[in-house]
Amino acid sequence: MRIIFNSYNTTGAGPSNVTKFILKALSQKRILYKKYFIIPNIFLFKDVESNKDLKIIRLPVFQGYLNYIFRVLYDLFLLPTASFILNASAVIVLANYSPMIVRGKKIVFMRHLFLVDDCPTVYDNPKAYVLESLRRVVFMLTLKTTDIIVVQSNFMKDALIRKYGKIASKIVVMPNPVSNLIDLSESDISPKKYQKDNYVLYVSRYYPHKQHIFLLQLVEKYKTQLRGKKIKFYITVDKSQSNIKARNFLKKISKSNLDDIIHNLGEIPNDELSLYYGAAKCFFFPSTSETFGNPLVEAMAFGLPIIVPDLNYAKDVCKGAGIYYEVNKIDDAFDKIMALFEDQSIQENFSRQSHLRFKNFSTTDQWIDEVFSLVS
């Protein structure tokens, strides 16, 4: 049996890291199937290598209009043709789009929230609006030619059905796997670094819906109280990120003289994240739009109380481990954070809840077994 994994368009932070989890597990797991794994030629995958049963196919990443031209060529011709040439038993598409008929069973993972969620803040220019509209057209064609659509939560399943109505494809709910790139053996150990700080961690790249601006507004309003309690926020915005809004956000922190409260670590390699999760007092995740939220599960692994907006995606993933604040209400978010620092019993209770909730998520090996069960 031959299986093609298509992960060419997983260049975003969440999907690309999930791809890295899968590649690591597949390279170590003995599975009789012959596997072909298509990935973009980006730095994250530089150390990924083929072996006897796993063939890595790297494709170039283009910029500007050339990127769109190649994507059309790839999705309409190259991938379908490859599936027939290789006589594939299944094609597993790890991110959203595959409009054409392929050889074998087609399984598509939906990982782009704005295929089902109309978020005005994302469409901040005509180009973004047109691109999202085109993505939805391609996704609708994908739905018509796909055997199984996989979503990460019941929240996403409900949103998919509401948006597109009756769907011929079978819908399967499969949460993302627990990262195998983070050293979870340290999850019950308190690292020495940052021991003197009461610090709150927020792991995310910068995008408008990730609500870094909300965090900045919270800190600006309550900077006196936060300094009094020596509370700091550690964020992970990529300093080299080309997004001008990300650069402007980091400049605002400095111009507002808030560097002593909001400290940007830059993007942290997965193998170093355990240090920061292990030393944090709690995890703050103000994002207003997610299909899942991998860092939420990572925070649970380290028993961190998790403060999130009262939104369906957060409630679906966190359940009783979440401390929920009213959406876009700075005062309520601040109160929830301060309660953790002022009441040890709240800290301990939600730490226990995080550990318990974490047990509901699959390891990457278990997740791969679930995926292959869909193929057969």
Model pLDDT, residue 88: 95
List strands edge to edge, sheet with 90-93: 54-59, 34-40, 2-6, 90-93, 105-109, 148-151, 170-173
% of residues, the chain, pLDDT over 70: 93
Mean pLDDT of 348-365: 92
pLDDT(127) > 80: no
pLDDT(131) > 50: yes
Q: Compute the distance between CA of residue 233 and CA of residue 262 in angstroms, rounded to an integer.
A: 5
Model confidence pLDDT, tens digit, residues 195-221? 456 899 999 989 888 999 999 999 999
Q: Compute the distance between CA of residue 351 and CA of residue 109 in angstroms, rounded to an integer.
A: 31
Q: What is the pTM of this model?
A: 0.87
Structure token digits, residue 275: 């240090």
Q: What angle do CA 201, 206, 212 make, to 5 degrees?
A: 60
Least confident of 85-94, 122-131, 135-144: 122-131
Model confidence pLDDT, tens digit, residues 220-265? 999 999 999 999 999 999 877 567 888 889 999 999 999 999 999 9
Residue type, 204: S
Sequential DSSP letters for 21-53: HHHHHHHHS--SSEEEEEEE--GGGTT----SS
Model confidence pLDDT, tens digit, residues 67-79? 889 999 999 999 9
% of residues, the chain, pLDDT over 90: 60
Q: Compute the distance between CA of residue 115 and CA of residue 133 in angstroms, rounded to an integer.
A: 9
Q: Compute the distance between CA of residue 167 and CA of residue 141 in angstroms, rounded to an integer.
A: 11
Strand partners for 309: 325
pLDDT(128) > 80: no
For residue 43, give Cα distances in angstroms to 295, 339, 353: 21, 41, 36
Task: Look at residues 118, 13, 125, 82 and name the one whose alpha carbon lies nearest to residue 90.
Answer: 82
- Residue 332 CB coordination number (10 Å): 15
Task: Look at residues 312, 313, 337, 302 and name the one whose alpha carbon lies nearest to residue 323.
Answer: 337
Model pLDDT, residue 190: 45
Residue type, 213: I
Q: Compute the distance between CA of residue 329 and CA of residue 326 in angstroms, rounded to an integer.
A: 6
Burial class of 292 by CB neighbour count within 10 A (0 to 12, 13 to 18, 19+): buried
Q: Which residue has the higher pLDDT, 106 or 115?
A: 106
Model confidence pLDDT, tens digit, residues 138-174? 999 999 999 999 999 999 999 999 999 888 789 999 9
Mean pLDDT of 51-69: 90
Q: What domains are there in the chain, each with its CATH number? A: 2-177+362-375 (3.40.50.2000), 184-358 (3.40.50.2000)
> Mean pLDDT of all residues in the chain?
88
3-state secondary structure of 306: strand
Task: Look at residues 287, 358, 286, 291 and name the one whose alpha carbon lies nearest to residue 320.
Answer: 358
Q: Answer positive or negative: Cα dihedral of 371, 287, 250, 276.
A: negative
Q: Compute the distance between CA of residue 291 and CA of residue 114 in angstroms, rounded to an integer.
A: 9
Q: Compute the distance between CA of residue 294 and CA of residue 178 in angstroms, rounded to an integer.
A: 8
| Confidence class for position 122, pLDDT limits 50, 70, 90 | low
Model pLDDT, residue 187: 57
125 contact partners, CB below 8 Å, separation of at least 6: none
Model confidence pLDDT, tens digit, residues 275-292? 899 889 999 999 998 889
pLDDT(194) > 60: no
Mean pLDDT of 272-276: 87
325 contact partners, CB below 8 Å, separation of at least 6: 307, 308, 309, 310, 332, 333, 335, 336
**Lookup result for tokens 């796993």:** 54
Q: Which residue has the higher pLDDT, 282 or 130?
A: 282
Contact (Cβ atoms closer than 8 angstroms) between residue 3 and residue 92: yes
pLDDT(119) > 70: no
Within 13 Å of residue 172, how many CA atoms lie on the same side as its CB?
16
pLDDT(310) > 80: yes
